[in-house]
């Protein structure tokens, strides 16, 4: 597994919120999740951040209803819905105020 922090190895298109980057470092180094899983978590968080920005709110200000709607939008036909729900649930579960049932 690579030893670079998540904040220094962006698989997506843009910078990630520092709190999200810390979460990704946590799941990568402390929980020791697989590199591919961490990459998928990061991509999902980036997509959620883009949706939040498009809605005119900050990702950390998003409410459970926002998250549910965005996750539903991210589930395109044929997408791995269970994996998406799992990664979103993992990220959301660690964020205060984001008690979302996926």
What token pair was written down for 27?
Answer: 């799941």
- Prediction pTM value: 0.64
φ, ψ of residue 14 in degrees (nearest 5)? -145, 175
For residues 74 and 12, give the distance between their C-alpha atoms in angstroms, rounded to a whole number: 16
**Other C-beta atoms lying within 10 Å of the C-beta of residue 2:** 10
Continuous H helices in 3-80: 18-25, 35-54, 64-74
Q: What is the pLDDT of residues 73-83, one digit of tens each?
A: 887 665 555 55
Nearest-CA neighbor of 36 among 2, 72, 71, 70? 2
Can you tell me the distance from the alpha carbon of 45 to that of 49, in angstroms, rounded to the nearest whole number? 6
Q: What is the mean pLDDT of residues 1-7?
A: 55
- Per-residue pLDDT at 101: 47
Note the pLDDT of residue 56.
95
Q: What is the residue-averaged pLDDT of the chain? A: 76
pLDDT number for residue 76: 66
């Amino acid at each position: 597994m690579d030893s670079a922090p998540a904040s220094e190895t962006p698989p997506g298109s843009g910078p990630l919120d520092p709190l999200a980057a810390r979460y990704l470092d946590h799941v990568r180094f402390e929980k020791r999740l697989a590199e591919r899983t961490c990459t998928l978590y990061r991509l999902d968080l980036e997509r959620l951040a883009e949706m939040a920005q498009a809605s005119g709110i900050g990702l950390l200000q998003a409410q459970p209803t926002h998250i549910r709607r965005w996750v539903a939008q991210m589930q395109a036909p044929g997408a791995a819905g269970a994996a998406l729900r799992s990664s979103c649930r993992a990220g959301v579960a660690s964020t205060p105020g984001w008690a979302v049932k996926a």
